[in-house]
Structure 1
C-alpha cells in the first residue's frame, strides 16, 4: 500500500539556488530558536534574522513550516548527540542510558516555550519521514551498543530498546506540553532512567523451585 502523505504538511525548505540561500535559511532557523517565542511574528523573525520578510516567505510559507524544519533538525541533532555519547569509553551502561535520557530531555538553546510549541503546533506527520529514519538509526545503534555489553544479550533486545525509547519519548513530549504537571528535569531524568533500565535489563529467574 502506498504511503499517504499529510496534504497539509509543509515541504522542507527548497535546495539552495543562490550562494546565499543556505545562509538565509540558517539565519531564519537560528532566529526562531533564539527568540523561543511561539507568538513571534514572521516580521519579528525576519528582523531577528537580519533579512527581509520576503526572504522568510521565499523559503517558509508560514511559521509552521519553520517549526517543522526545526523539529527535523532537533531529531537529527539528538541522533548525533547519542552517537557521540555511545563512542565514549568512560561511561558505564547506566551512565550512558542516563546521558541519552538527558539528551532527549534537554535541547541546547531551545526554550521551554519553543519545545512546547513544537509539540503542540507541529503534527508528527509533518516530520514523520525524517523521524522514522532518525528513530530507526537511534534504536539500531543503541541495540548494537548494548549487545556488545550484555552477556549474553537477550534475544528480544531490539524490542526492549524500542520500548525504552518510546517510553522516554512519551515522557519528554508530555512533560514539555504539560510542564505544570511534570516534575523538574532532574527528577524526570531519574524516572526516565529507571523506566529505561527496567525495559532493557533481562529479568533474573528467582532461585529455588
Structure 2
C-alpha cells in the first residue's frame, strides 16, 4: 500500500468520545497494512484504547472500514455539491468546479481516497451496499452535468455516461501517484484535471 497522505485528519470530533481517534487510527492502519494485514488489536493500539473498547464502537473490522469509507464519501459529496451549487452556471463551468473539488479532496485526504479504491473489495453485504450507495451519489453529480451538456449540444461526446464515469475514475486515481513534492501544486493539479475532463466530454469551442 502507498502510505503517503496529507496531514489533514479525515475524521474530526464526533459525538462519541474516542471515536475520531479510532477511525483515524484505522485509516492509517488500512493504508499501511491493507484491510487483511491490519488487525483490530493494532487499530486499538494506534488509537490509544483497549481492544474491548474498540469492539464497543465497531463490532468488526468490516464495520470499521465501512464507516471510514462512508465518512470519506460524505465529505467528498459535500465538497462537490457545494462547489457545483456555488458556480450555478452552465454545464462546462459546473463540470470544471466539480472536478476541482474532487481533486482537492483527493489531495487533502490522499490516504482515505486510496483506501476507498483499494480496500472496498473486502466489504460484503450491507456494509458494501452502504458504501456503494454513498459513492453513487457523488457519481450522479457528474452523470447529471455531463448528460445535461450532451443534451444541449455543449458536449459533443456520443458517450456521456462512459465519459462521466471515466472522469471520476481519473480523479480518484490521483491517490495512487500524487506526491506533495511533485511539480504541480494542489490548485494546478485541480485545474489540469478540469481541463482534461472538459476535453474528454468534447466541449465545443468558446465554452
Which residue number in structure 2 is paired with residue 56 of structure 1?
54
Rounded Cα–Cα distance in structure 1 between residues aligned with 2:187 and 2:17: 36
Count of residues in Structure 1 that have an aligned counterpart in Structure 2:
182
Which residue number in structure 2 is paired with residue 101 of structure 1?
99
Rounded Cα–Cα distance in structure 2 between residues aligned with 1:28 and 1:48: 8
Rounded Cα–Cα distance in structure 2 between residues aligned with 1:172 and 1:194: 12
Native 8 Å contact 1:105 1:172 kept in 2 = yes
Q: Residue 195 and residue 140 in structure 1: after superposition, are their counterparts in 2 closer, same or farther (change >3 A)?
A: same
Q: Give the secondary-structure state (helix, strand or coil) at the position aligned to 2:117.
A: helix
In structure 2, which of residues 83, 86, 89 is the aligned counterpart of residue 88 of structure 1?
A: 86
Q: Give the secondary-structure state (helix, strand or coil) at the position aligned to 1:107.
A: helix
Unaligned segments of structure 1, at least 5 residues: 1-19, 205-209
Native 8 Å contact 1:34 1:110 kept in 2 = no
TM-score by length of 1: 0.58
Quote how far apart the aligned CAs of 1:83 are. 1.6
C-alpha RMSD of the superposition: 4.5
Q: Deviations over 1:155-199 (max 9, x none)?
A: 999962x3343213322343323458x985556534432332134
Q: Residue 133 and residue 35 in structure 1: after superposition, are their counterparts in 2 closer, same or farther (change >3 A)?
A: closer
Native 8 Å contact 2:30 2:115 kept in 1 = no
Native 8 Å contact 2:44 2:54 kept in 1 = yes
Native 8 Å contact 1:75 1:134 kept in 2 = yes
Quote how far apart the aligned CAs of 1:88 are. 0.9
Larger helix proportion of the pair: 2
Native 8 Å contact 2:156 2:201 kept in 1 = no
Q: Deviations over 1:41-68 (max 9, x none)?
A: 6445335545322122341423x54233
Within 5 A, what are the aligned runs for 1:6-155?
A: 22-33=16-27, 38-39=32-33, 42-58=40-56, 59-62=58-61, 65-89=63-87, 94-107=92-105, 112-123=110-121, 126=124, 128-142=128-142, 152=152
Quote how far apart the aligned CAs of 1:154 are. 6.6
**Structure exhibiting the larger radius of gyration computed from Cα positions:** 1
Q: Residue 178 and residue 88 in structure 1: after superposition, are their counterparts in 2 closer, same or farther (change >3 A)?
A: closer
TM-score by length of 2: 0.58
